[in-house]
Structure 1
């Protein structure tokens, strides 16, 4: 009887292990499901932000401004996780993609509106037409910091300059009522919010199921699509997040080099980016509704070839998210001081964890036969 029970147990284990195996097609298809769900939630939260901004513009007050600001922060939570779908020429950042209109930074505030010492600066205080075509033509014209559209333009218009060490920007709602060019400021905010929603909708459409779109091509990509996924994770992890978004700010200790400086939201940007990387690796995404999207993962695919490396990547990603969550707001105070300052050490810990996970991502890619993986921006 004991021999029979052992045999049954072994057979059950073998069947379980066999059922757990995944193939390239399953992983690529599940990735597409995850991307689609993520962009759906990002778009939905952006539309809710738009509704709050419309309410504010219809009846500006301290309360309606705060509600609009809160909705911006909420929407950023969902967009931040989608940045793990970049860096391989997909619909978000292909040569014709809208990423530069959505999330370009750092932003020169004076390019858009008046700032301390330059009250009449910017597009809003000029006679420039406030139209979509015009703002798109002006975005990054004459310099990368000449940002006219996207998340950070909206952020600046809601918060204003961050002139305080201890709080976010303190823009008054009266900037939309009695201040000079209040009407143009409102027109500008309404338009760039609509443009952001439209641009996100265009990307979301390209990942919808059963369409003649990018997703349909991607799901037929096989090993090439797997390489694109790895490229996205490695580039966001090392070149963009650890490098451009954190190390530059650590080096300069300059508030202008943090990602969401007006709202003091940079610490959350870092968390959501790190979480987005983990989402892709594990093929798991917790939606706004609480629904959990999960399925065949890159982690499983790699583990079938090299379990130790797969475990190392998973451990690094968990460490990166945990370290990111330990950063204290505001980020611009964390980066100031000597090398051994507590805040700088917390931020540096995120960089080191991201570097480690990138190295192991390269090893994971090699386990699947991908010999070269670009992780620079």
Structure 2
């Protein structure tokens, strides 16, 4: 579902700013430069994760498992700030499912609790457990999975049979392999996979520890190569940068499309409001690790830093330049001020979710039916995101851009449909 934002060709401005408007090409250059930096940071963090995964596989222990988990959480910080580049940039949206698809039927990958169930009419592969099965049948063909490789995951297993829940690659497949299922429901606590799931010989738990290590290694290697590819697309001469700058007005529209769609349909709707309506901890974005509060926060920060044209890299290096904020200021300073205030309000609300979760009130506890405090926290974020989208729509009109489409969500636009 999309929200169509149309513009008028003639506007009467009640005030004229004395601030000179930056060239749109400069605004697009800043946007692309920050994209390149964010994907480079995501790649660097994934390479650090790759080293930690290799250490876990080579020397399984509580220490190496916990290090890999901590590095995975750190790797989410730069990546979540890239999600604002989806929706407006087809090259990102077409690729994103390789690295951040969710939710997933984790039984495709590894052993699961008996309550998880087995194959269903919706997904015959929901409990395939490729780690335990070196050979399986897919669409009538026998698949040799005796060696778990990046190619097997990317070309055969990921979205097998055209089912989106068959997520075999990316951050969340790795997350599941590091934490295991979160069986705590609405109680505190993340997944608790033992380090012995990667041990060799008689110490191995869960069975097939060597294949589990193969899968984890292959998925992490694939994540690194996928991020390396996307960082290249935003470099000088890269396809993403070239596509963005072919038409300046369309490029600015792409920025606002990404901001609005992530704010409204994706984050406020599918990632936050829907989970609250269903009171379902399985609707958490980072459900195995209980890291959802951070994912929401850094998604919001990504929207804010794109508007402001400013980003601080993971090594502390700042990147900034001509921004969408500068462009809006030159036309309507009051509207720019409004946008900045709403972005700040949203970040305050998302920050409160984050700090409260870090203090011990986990996001899946917030989702529990009847928990008024949790509902208030989540709806604070939802309302901030929805409110800032209204101003994004006004900016589209003020800048006299062509019609854009902002992603919607039944949870916001047609709540009754959620329960049908």
**Structure 2 residue 372 is the aligned partner of structure 1 residue 341:** yes
Quote the residue 1:359 is aligned against: 390
Q: Which runs of at least 4 in structure 1 moved beyond 3 Å after TM superposition?
A: 118-121
Which region of structure 1 is more displaced relative to structure 2, 311-320 or 56-65?
311-320
2:281 to 255, 266, 269: 255
Q: 2: distance between equivalents of 1:216 and 1:56?
A: 40
Q: Does 1:35 align with 2:35?
A: yes
Please report how far the alpha carbon of residue 227 of structure 1 lies from its aligned counterpart in structure 2 after TM superposition: 0.6
**How far does residue 30 in structure 1 lie from its aligned partner after superposition?**
1.0
Which whole-Å deviations, capped at 9, do the CAs of 1:169-197 have from their partners, x for residues lacking one?
A: 11001011112110100000000000011
- Counterpart selection for 1:122 from 89, 109, 129: 129
Give the match for residue 101 of structure 1.
98
Q: Separation in 2 of the partners of 1:160 and 1:87? A: 31
SS in 2 for 1:375: strand
| Unmatched runs of 5 consecutive residues or more in structure 2 | 1-17, 118-126, 136-144, 409-420
TM-score normalised by structure 2 residue count: 0.82
Provide the secondary structure at the position in 2 that maps to 1:166: coil
Tell me what 2:403 maps to: 372
Task: From the superposition, tell whether residues 65 and 226 of structure 1 become closer, same or farther in structure 2 (CA, over 3 Å).
Answer: same
Q: Does structure 2 retain, via aligned residues, the 8 Å contact 1:362–1:373?
A: no
Q: Which residue of 1 aligns with 2:219?
A: 192
1:27-66 to 2 correspondence within 5 Å? Answer: 27-66=27-66
Residue number in structure 2 paired with 1:321: 347
Q: SS at the partner of 2:164?
A: coil
Post-superposition shift, 1:366? 0.8
TM-score of the pair, normalised by structure 1? 0.91
Which residue is equivalent to 2:228?
A: 201
Residue 174 of structure 2: aligned partner: 154
Question: Is residue 132 from structure 1 mapped to residue 150 from structure 2 by the alignment?
Answer: yes
Distance 2:238 2:159 in 1: 32
| Conservation of the 8 A alpha-carbon contact between 2:159 and 2:167 | yes
CA contact (8 A) 1:306 1:364 kept: no
Secondary structure of residue in 2 paired with 1:285: strand
Q: Which moved more, 1:276-285 or 1:327-336?
A: 327-336
- Does structure 1 retain, via aligned residues, the 8 Å contact 2:250–2:402? no
Deviation at 1:25, TM superposition (A): 1.2
Given that 2:56 and 2:64 are in contact with CA atoms closer than 8 Å, whether structure 1 keeps it comes out as yes
- Residues 63-95 of structure 1 show CA distances to partners (whole Å, capped at 9, x for unaligned) of 00000000000000110001011112443223x
Instruction: Give the CA RMSD over aligned residues.
Output: 1.8
Maintained 8 Å contact 1:115/1:121? no
- d(CA) in 1 for partners of 2:282, 2:339: 32
How big is the shift at 1:122?
Answer: 1.2
The CA distance in 2 between the partners of 1:276 and 1:282, in whole Å, is: 10
Offset from partner CA, 1:213-242 (integer Å, 9 cap, x none)? 331342332111001111010000001000
Q: How far apart are 1:371 and its partner, in Å?
A: 4.8
Q: Distance in 1 between matches of 2:33 and 2:278?
A: 40
Aligned length: 356
For 1:231-246, what aligned pairs fall within 5 Å after superposition?
A: 231-246=257-272
Q: Deviation digits for residues 256-296 of structure 1, max 9, x if unmatched?
A: 11100000000000000000000100000011111111111
Cross-structure match for 1:268: 294
Which gives a bigger RCO, structure 1 or 2 (Cα 8 Å, sep 6+)? 2
Distance 1:311 1:303 in 2: 8
